[in-house]
């Protein structure tokens, strides 16, 4: 998959996540997706969607600002500023792997700090 399409998949996923659009996110996930962050690790589309749904239910609003992106062969890393419910600010790096069909096969999220 070429660089532009990988980045488009990544940015589209982040936009759909901020919109809490689970239906379109489901279309973006591969069946064998692995979702991991600083609290959980799940495998398979069913469990990944359940975890995503839980995150959506726990937040009234989600704002995502993409601070920068980095790319290699099949992965895009996005440095993000995420604001949950207008009060909780998280600095996160999402490492998103995209398979040859253009589906997201893994998302690894790392929590960081907001200072430079």
Please say if the pLDDT value at position 116 is more than 80.
no
Least confident of 1-10, 82-91, 101-110: 1-10
Mapped onto helix, strand or coil, the DSSP state of residue 95 is strand
Domains in the chain, please, with CATH? 3-111 (3.10.450.50)
Interatomic CA distance for residues 52 and 4, integer angstroms: 26
Contacts of 64 (CB under 8 A, 6+ apart): 14, 15, 17, 18, 80, 81, 82
Q: Model confidence over 54-104: pLDDT tens digits?
A: 999 999 999 999 999 999 989 999 999 999 999 999 999 999 999 999 999
**70-80 exposure pattern, b = at least 16 Cβ within 10 A, e = fewer:** eeeeebbbbbb
**Cα–Cα nearest to 9, from 37, 33, 39:** 33
């Amino acid at each position: 998959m070429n660089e532009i399409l990988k980045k488009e998949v990544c940015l589209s996923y982040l936009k759909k996540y901020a919109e809490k659009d689970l239906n379109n996110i489901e279309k973006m996930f591969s069946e064998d997706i692995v979702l991991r962050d600083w609290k959980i690790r799940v495998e398979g589309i069913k469990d990944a969607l359940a975890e995503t749904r839980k995150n959506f239910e726990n937040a009234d609003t989600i704002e995502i600002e993409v601070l920068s992106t980095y790319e290699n062969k099949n992965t895009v890393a996005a440095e993000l500023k995420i604001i949950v419910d207008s009060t909780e600010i998280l600095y996160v790096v999402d490492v998103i792997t995209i398979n040859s069909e253009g589906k997201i096969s893994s998302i690894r999220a790392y929590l960081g700090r907001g200072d430079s």
